[in-house]
């Protein structure tokens, strides 16, 4: 995603589109893995507070991923149609920031759910 933003700043639109597409595919793969992981969980959220927390935080990450993919989709559509210029690409920057934020949240979530017990 970072690559996509720096590309569009340099005016290289083709690489912007590829960067966005790559991000989308990675994100979709991550989504798929997360959903599969949830289905495979041996416990239900009612068992105890840790289980509740696992489902809640995991569910929140899922939601964020879905939103990020949605944003990415819109930005991609406009990128492929050629809406973005060197100077005017705020939406790309915004969705990039969102992705970075999700990564930061995932690191924290991972620490809470997997490292602390």
Residue 12 touching another protein (CB under 8 A): no
Q: Out of 25, 28, 35, 41, which residue is the one contacting another protein (CB under 8 A)?
A: 41
Q: Which CB atom, from 14 or from 49, has the smaller least distance to another protein?
A: 49
Are residues 7 and 19 in contact, defined by beta-carbon separation less than 8 angstroms?
Answer: yes
Residue 45 touching another protein (CB under 8 A): yes
Q: Out of 28, 37, 73, 108, which residue is the one contacting another protein (CB under 8 A)?
A: 37
Residue 15 touching another protein (CB under 8 A): no
Handedness of CA 76, 78, 83, 88 (dihedral sign): negative
Query: What residues line the site for another protein (CB under 8 A)?
Result: 1-3, 5-6, 9, 26, 29-30, 33-34, 36-37, 40-43, 45-56, 70, 74, 88, 90-91, 93-94, 97, 100, 103-104, 106-107, 110, 113-114, 116-117
């Amino acid at each position: 995603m970072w690559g996509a933003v720096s590309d569009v700043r340099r005016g290289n639109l083709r690489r912007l589109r590829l960067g966005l597409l790559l991000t989308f595919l990675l994100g979709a793969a991550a989504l798929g893995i997360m959903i599969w992981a949830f289905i495979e969980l041996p416990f239900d959220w009612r068992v105890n507070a840790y289980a509740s927390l696992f489902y809640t935080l995991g569910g929140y990450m899922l939601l964020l991923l879905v939103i990020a993919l949605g944003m990415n989709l819109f930005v991609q559509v406009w990128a492929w149609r050629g809406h973005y210029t060197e100077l005017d690409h705020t939406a790309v920057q915004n969705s990039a920031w969102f992705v970075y934020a999700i990564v930061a949240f995932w690191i924290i979530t991972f620490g809470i759910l997997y490292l602390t017990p």
